[in-house]
Structure 1
Amino acid sequence: MATITRLRKSRRMSQIVRHGSTIHLAGQIADDCSQAIEGQSQEVFGNIDALLAEIGLTKSSIVFAQMWLSDLADFAGMNSAWEAWVDPEDPPGRATCQVGLARAGARIEILITAAAEG
């Protein structure tokens, strides 16, 4: 049985969960929800970069990204920020849908699954 490691734990959740070689990041949202979609997206991508770096990975390790937008009208703006950030040599699988987000003003939340060696 693979070991489960949880990092950046709180009573509610762990920001990083590793099970074997699979890495799950908790859903990431921007701290500054007053920004337009491009700014919120860039902040979320920075959060993802920081969490992956904490465990020695980069965005090229991302296997799948699940994006939730509070309004699909933000799809083009999010895609613009995504295309500037994503590793063009190793783009992950991805899905995007519209949902009601828990934090007022949040326009995007992203859940990441990544792969690590061993």
Structure 2
Amino acid sequence: MTLTRLNPGPRMSEAVILGDIIYLAGQVPNDLSADISVQTRQVLDNIDAVLAKVGATKADIASVQVWLADMGDFAGMNAVWDEWVDRKDPPARATGGVALARPGMRVEMIVIARNPEIAR
């Protein structure tokens, strides 16, 4: 089975494709001073961009782990998520509260998707 790394760096790859599965690295916001709505939009835009690089879309997403630094941001994150999610093909999802890696980071998401080159 072929393993392909997208934009590998010294610490991690942006994504890894293993056969018919795509594993995205944790996607984080660009503006750590922004509120949860802006940070969530940035993370979802990053997910869309990485998926596009491998020819996938949000309809190919199987699972998303959402990590929030403050569970008080749950409703704000969900408001942006609900505008973005593919209502016809929603992924499985889990959300938890955790201490995130950098101060100001309010949300991080990890995505597992199918590889449309193989799965279709």
Q: TM-score, normalised by structure 2?
A: 0.96
Q: Which amino acid aligns with 1:22?
A: I
Pair 1:39-2:26 in alignment: no
Q: Which amino acid aligns with 1:35?
A: A
- What is the match of residue 68 of structure 2? 69
- What is the match of residue 104 of structure 2? 105
Q: Distance in 2 between matches of 1:79 and 1:106?
A: 17
- What is the match of residue 48 of structure 2? 49
- What is the match of residue 21 of structure 1? 20
Q: Which amino acid aligns with 2:54?
A: I
- What is the match of residue 95 of structure 1? 94
Shift of 1:102: 0.4
Partner of 1:27: helix, strand, or coil?
A: coil
Q: Distance in 1 between matches of 2:23 and 2:16?
A: 5
Shift of 1:104: 1.0
Q: Which amino acid aligns with 1:77?
A: G
Q: Which amino acid aligns with 2:3?
A: I
Partner of 1:9: helix, strand, or coil?
A: coil
Deviations 1:41-85 (A, max 9, x none): 000000000000001010110000000000000000000000000
Higher-strand-fraction structure:
1
- What is the match of residue 8 of structure 1? 7
Q: Distance in 2 between matches of 1:103 and 1:46?
A: 20
Give the unaligned 5+ runs of structure 1: none
Partner of 2:26: helix, strand, or coil?
A: strand
- What is the match of residue 81 of structure 2? 82
- Which runs of at least 4 in structure 1 moved beyond 2 Å after TM superposition? none
Q: Which amino acid aligns with 1:21?
A: D
Q: TM-score, normalised by structure 1?
A: 0.97
Give the unaligned 5+ runs of structure 2: none
Identity %: 49
Aligned length: 117
Q: Distance in 2 between matches of 1:115 and 1:89?
A: 16
